[in-house]
Amino acid sequence: MHVFFKARITLWTALITALIAGFVVLPAFVLASQTPAAPSRQSAAVGDNPELWRLGFSSEGDASYSVVIGRLISNVAAFRSSRGVSDIYYIFPAAAHTVQVDSARMHILTSSGTYSGTASLTLEVRDLAGVLQHSVSAAPLDLESTAAGSWVDFTLSPTAADLLVDPGEVLLLHATFSDGSRDDLDVRPMFEVSVK
């Protein structure tokens, strides 16, 4: 009889020990399984993970970064030939670290009116004062002849340095109306720029 009780106590002790261990080990296992894996050294480097830039600020006639103060950020630009200026900009937020443009494309939501001159659009890098540093696009897009309703890719410069945006610089779209402000062209595009 004594052996029976001793075996039972040993069994209960083992069961309680297993339960206590389960309550300690299981939460630790669950937490460990939910903790993200440490990033690899390569993917942890700043600028290695691609991101999409879609939001910016519209500015008529002024490319300096100070014009964005107090303006609402939007995912749609407004390029209108009748605004009293020859140049209109869609300015992305300034880069905090050096990024490289991988691709850029435009989707015109609506387009109406005409322009008697050439309405061209280029992707550029400028400093915070609005001074042109270099062009990212190899050739401008024609705002008037580009059809609405589908994505159009910018052809990027073949020069690697032209694809970089450094701290103290901004990436922007620059619409130029060759014959100045006139007529009634009104183009409303969205942009998607992939940087890393």
Any idea where the domains of the chain sit in the sequence? Answer: 1-44, 51-195
What's the whole-model pTM score?
Answer: 0.75
Q: Answer yes or no: are the C-beta atoms of 195 and 98 closer than 8 Å.
A: no
With cut-offs at 50, 70 and 90, classify the pLDDT of residue 159. very high
Long-range contacts of 146-153 (CB under 8 A, 24+ apart): 146/106, 146/108, 146/111, 147/108, 147/111, 148/108, 148/109, 148/110, 148/111, 149/107, 149/108, 150/107, 151/105, 151/106, 151/107, 151/192, 152/105, 152/106, 152/107, 152/108, 153/103, 153/104, 153/105
* CA dihedral over 186, 111, 183, 178, signed as positive or negative: positive
The pair phi, psi for residue 186, each rounded to 5°, is -140, 110
From the centroid of its chain, how far is CA 109? 19
Give per-residue pLDDT as tens, 139-157.
999 999 999 999 999 999 9
Closest CA to 169 of 116, 134, 130, 128: 128
pLDDT tens, 82-106? 999 999 999 999 989 999 999 999 9
pLDDT of the residue at 45? 41
DSSP designation for 160: G
From the DSSP assignment, how many helices (H) and strands (E) are in the chain?
Answer: 2, 12
Q: Which of 5-14, 92-101, 124-133 has the lowest mean pLDDT?
A: 5-14
Write down the architecture of domain 51-195 according to CATH.
Sandwich (2.60)
DSSP string, 47-110: T-S-EEE--BEEEES---GGGGTTPPPBS---EETTSS-SEEEEEPPPPSS-EEEEEEEEEEEE
Average pLDDT, the chain: 84
Length of the chain: 196
